[in-house]
Structure 1
Amino acid sequence: METKEMPKDAPLVIMNRGGLVENVHRGRVCVVSAEDGKVIYSLGDVHAPAYVRSTAKPVQAMASLLDGAAEAYGFEDRHLALLAASHRGSREQMAALEEIVSLTGLDESLLAIQPGLPVGRQARDEYLSGGGKPRKLFHTCAGKHLGVLAWCKLKGWPLEGYIHADHPAQKEILRRIKLWADAEGEQVTVGKDGCGFPVAAMPLWRLGFIYGRLACPELAEDHEAAAAAIRITGAMNAFPEYVEGRNRLASLLLSDPNVVAKSGAHGVFALGLRKERLGVSIAVTDGTEIAWPYIAMSVLDRIGGGISDETNRRLQATFPTEFFNDAKEIAGRWEVELELQGRVAEEG
């Protein structure tokens, strides 16, 4: 049996119950300059690869915008937000997806994903109580799939096989991701994402760089790509709850105009800060997302800014450090062990 080398990680968040450490969530964290990709703070091996997963969705959506898909189909900001979304199946999200289907003339059956139910508990319960049946549009990546299908239709590319790595759309998406990460000359590993799309793996610091540039697209040499980034991230900020959902970390952060943020599956999270010109990438080794809010808040505190007082209050209220049992008693605390290694000496 082949043994895989594990990336060097570090303890990030501890679950403390009754004074004892019950769980430890390990991982890697990187803070990167949007201007040159220089690593400013890090913890763990940030040069080891990580699959970008759904954090890539804004760049995937940019590829279709560069070919005029928004103008061709009359997409508005709420539709663009869904192209970059991991939606939860809320009524508002589903209404926007239905509008995309209508505007593009696509049929839901074309989606190369399995029918399912809303991911969000409340949306799922409401849907099932009304006798609802599984459908493909409920897949959390349905917006991305619709966007790529619409792009393929516009370009005259085959709709069949649009999720395969050798399809023209996927080749162009990978090229765009590498360009935005300033990694066009590098070999990257490509696996299969949960929704069937190819997914690239690259050094974790490059994911931070991608988000630094999404937050500060004016730094990009490609002005057309910069305009597409401004449009897609602007839509995400205008409709934050369409991107993920109510009380989701990325949506809470996106409600702040200084932040671009998106989660990925299996522990990957990224955000960019406009005023500070920084990108942040997080990879939790055990794949959990429960540790993200505490890591993100700690990093923002270390940076000393990034979000408004109101955004900070909302994060603290949504993700308190104390957790409760079913009797509504305090059962323990989340404790962050984030001793970021600073590399500020390299800047001087």
Structure 2
Amino acid sequence: MRVSLPVLSSQLKQGFQPLYLLFGAETLLVEEALRPIRACAKEAGFLDRLRFTAEPGFDWNKLLEYSQTKSLFADKQLIELRLPTGKPGDAGAKALIDYAEHMVAPGASGDTALVVICGNIDKRAQNTKWFKAVGVAGVVIECPTISADQLPNWISQRLTAGGLKFDDEAVARLSHFVEGNLLAAAQEINLLSLLYPKERISAEIIERVIADHARFNVYSFVDACLAGSVHRVTRILQSLKREQMEPVIILWALARDTRILCQLSAAMEHMNQGERPQSLFQRYGIWSSRNGMVNAALNRLSRPQWENILRRLARADLMVKGRAPLQRKDIWEEIENICLGMCGLRIQ
């Protein structure tokens, strides 16, 4: 059974289940979802808690051994199994399938419960046998990433839950400072609760006490380039530079999506009458959440222009590797120039 994060609490009130799977890219949300599960387990008598991390070399036999061995006078036990990569491997997949089939089968003792805690699990991994087996036998909870568009609403709800009063501008400023770093957002809201429990939170207060915790990755940078957001492109690139992100990784990510844009642009020129662009997007592996930015990119530049961007990225890759001379101050300026071109700006 799959349960969304907002309804987890109401689902737990219906009774504690012997098998849970928590996963998501946001560590904060995963850990916060784990708390009510632990509390419900305690109320159900699962007082003995065992913790394991499935790192390379982990003995998956332990999972079944501990779930099947119980002292006559021992408490019910809750096993927390952390799966950092979201990929258990062949042995782990078999062990999880066995657990799902046998420990929750009719006649099972019910003295052991398992909570599997993962990072992000992509769509392909969600179609594997072990994931489906856990979903059939237990409860699966995804903790989805909070996007930049969703962040202000999330912060507003968090501030309200903390009993704080606030201005819309304060929410906007806090969103700006902590974008891409949900843990920092939660920490700063806790700090505001301690410092200003009865005062209305204004933009001035945010500016005074909040440090700039914005943290980005190469994928958010590529998305900003596709969306054509000049401000976000320059801001994220500066952040990646401060964090000493390898330029070759940035160029690889940009080239990968630019290559797809070239292929899509060519395919759209020969698209059958009545065929929708979304069908092409699906064919080229574009997620529905990225349809808008990809469509904006295709409308902004023509196929020859995207092909020129791809050539410039290839040339910049040679510059990084010392096989072509820099045409500007450094590689970061080269990347910025190319990406502003992706946004539709013509810069010589």
Band the TM-score falls in, shorter-chain normalisation: under 0.3
The alignment's TM-score, normalised by the length of structure 2, stands at 0.26
- Larger fraction in helix: 2
Larger radius of gyration: 2
Higher strand share: 1
Which structure has more relative contact order (CA 8 Å, sep 6+)? It is 1
TM-score (norm 1): 0.26
